[in-house]
Chain A
Amino acid sequence: MTVATLAIGLRLAAGGARRSWARLALVAAGVGIGVALLLTGLAVVPALKARDARERAREPVGPSTEPNTPSYLLQAASIDRYQGRRLVRFRIAGVGVSPPRPPGLTRIPRPGEAAVSPGLARLLRSPDGALLRPRLDSRIVAIIGQAGLIWPNELIAYSGTPASEAGTASGFIPVTSFGHPEGPKGPMPVELKLVVLLAILGLLVPTLAFIAASSRVAAAVRERRLAAIRLVGATPAQTRLLAAIEGLPAALAGCLVGVALFFAFRPIAPTLAPDGHEFSASDLKPPVGQALATLIAVPLLAVAAGLVALRRVELSPLGLVRRAPVRQVGPFARASACARLSAARRRLASQR
Chain B
Amino acid sequence: MTALLAGRELHRSFGSTSALAGASVEIAAGAVVAVMGPSGSGKSTLLHCLAGILLPERGEVVYAGCHLDQLSEPERSRLRRQQFGFVFQFGQLVPELSALENVALPLRLGGVARREAEQRAEDWLARLEVAAVGAKHPGELSGGEGQRVAVARALVSHPQVVFADEPTGALDSLNGERVMALLLDAARSRGTTVVLVTHEARVAAYADREIFMRDGRVVAPVAAA
Contact with B along A295-318 (1 / 0, CB 8 A): 000000000000000000000111
Contact B95 A229 (CB under 8 A): no
Find the B residue at minimum CB distance from A237: B74
A225–B92 alpha-carbon span in the complex (Å): 8
Contact A11 B53 (CB under 8 A): no
User: Ordered nearest first, which 10 A-B pairs have the shortest CB separation?
Assistant: A233-B81, A15-B96, A1-B111, A235-B77, A235-B74, A233-B80, A232-B106, A228-B92, A317-B53, A4-B108
Task: Note all chain B residues with C-beta closer than 8 A to A225.
Answer: 94-96
A15–B99 alpha-carbon span in the complex (Å): 12
Which A positions have Cβ atoms within 8 angstroms of B?
1, 4-5, 7-8, 11-12, 15-17, 19-20, 225, 228-238, 316-318
Find the B residue at minimum CB distance from A228: B92
A4/B114 contact (C-beta < 8 A), A233-B77, A237-B74, A318-B53 known: yes
Find the B residue at minimum CB distance from A239: B77
Task: Note all chain A residues with C-beta closer than 8 A to B105.
Answer: 8, 229, 232
B93 to chain A: closest CB distance in Å? Answer: 7
Q: Indicate if B97 sits at the interface (CB-CB under 8 A).
A: yes
Task: Note all chain A residues with C-beta closer than 8 A to B78.
Answer: 233, 235
A211–B185 alpha-carbon span in the complex (Å): 51
A225–B106 alpha-carbon span in the complex (Å): 14
Chain B interface size band reads 20 to 34
Q: Indicate if B38 sits at the interface (CB-CB under 8 A).
A: no
Task: Note all chain A residues with C-beta closer than 8 A to B101.
Answer: 11
Contact B92 A234 (CB under 8 A): no
A20–B96 alpha-carbon span in the complex (Å): 7
A306 to chain B: closest CB distance in Å? Answer: 16
Contact A238 B109 (CB under 8 A): yes
Contact A4 B109 (CB under 8 A): yes
A232/B86 contact (C-beta < 8 A), A4-B111, A11-B101 known: yes
Q: Is chain A's binding surface mostly helix, strand, loop or mixed?
A: helix
Q: Indicate if B221 sits at the interface (CB-CB under 8 A).
A: no
Task: Note all chain A residues with C-beta closer than 8 A to B53.
Answer: 231, 316-318
Residue of B80, B81, B82, B92 with most chain A CB atoms under a 10 A cut-off: B92
A234 to chain B: closest CB distance in Å? Answer: 5
Task: Note all chain A residues with C-beta closer than 8 A to B114.
Answer: 4, 7
A11–B78 alpha-carbon span in the complex (Å): 22
Contact A234 B94 (CB under 8 A): no
Contact with A along B60-89 (1 / 0, CB 8 A): 000000000000011001101110101010
Task: Kindly identify which residue among B92, B94, B137 contacts A12, using a CB–CB cutoff of 8 Å.
Answer: B94
Contact A16 B74 (CB under 8 A): no
Contact A19 B77 (CB under 8 A): no
Contact A1 B97 (CB under 8 A): no
Contact A5 B109 (CB under 8 A): yes
Contact B111 A232 (CB under 8 A): no
Task: Note all chain B residues with C-beta closer than 8 A to A15.
Answer: 95-97, 137
A318–B92 alpha-carbon span in the complex (Å): 9
A317 to chain B: closest CB distance in Å? Answer: 5
Please name 19 further chain A to chain B contacts, defined as beta carbons within 8 Å, in addition to the given A8-B108, A228-B94, A229-B94, sorted by A numbering.
A1-B111, A11-B101, A12-B94, A12-B96, A12-B97, A15-B96, A15-B137, A17-B95, A225-B94, A228-B93, A229-B109, A231-B88, A233-B77, A233-B78, A233-B106, A233-B110, A235-B74, A238-B109, A318-B54
A232/B81 contact (C-beta < 8 A), A4-B108, A318-B48 known: yes
Task: Note all chain B residues with C-beta closer than 8 A to A234.
Answer: 77, 81, 109
A236–B105 alpha-carbon span in the complex (Å): 16
Task: Note all chain A residues with C-beta closer than 8 A to B77.
Answer: 230, 233-236, 238
Task: Note all chain A residues with C-beta closer than 8 A to B175.
Answer: none
A238–B110 alpha-carbon span in the complex (Å): 10
A254 to chain B: closest CB distance in Å? Answer: 19
Q: Indicate if B148 sits at the interface (CB-CB under 8 A).
A: no
Task: Note all chain B residues with C-beta closer than 8 A to A228.
Answer: 92-94
List, sorted by A's number, 27 A–B pairs whose CB atoms are closer than 8 Å. A1-B109, A4-B111, A4-B114, A7-B108, A8-B105, A8-B109, A15-B95, A15-B96, A15-B97, A16-B98, A17-B96, A225-B94, A225-B96, A228-B93, A228-B94, A229-B109, A232-B81, A232-B86, A232-B105, A232-B106, A233-B81, A233-B106, A234-B109, A235-B73, A236-B73, A238-B77, A318-B54
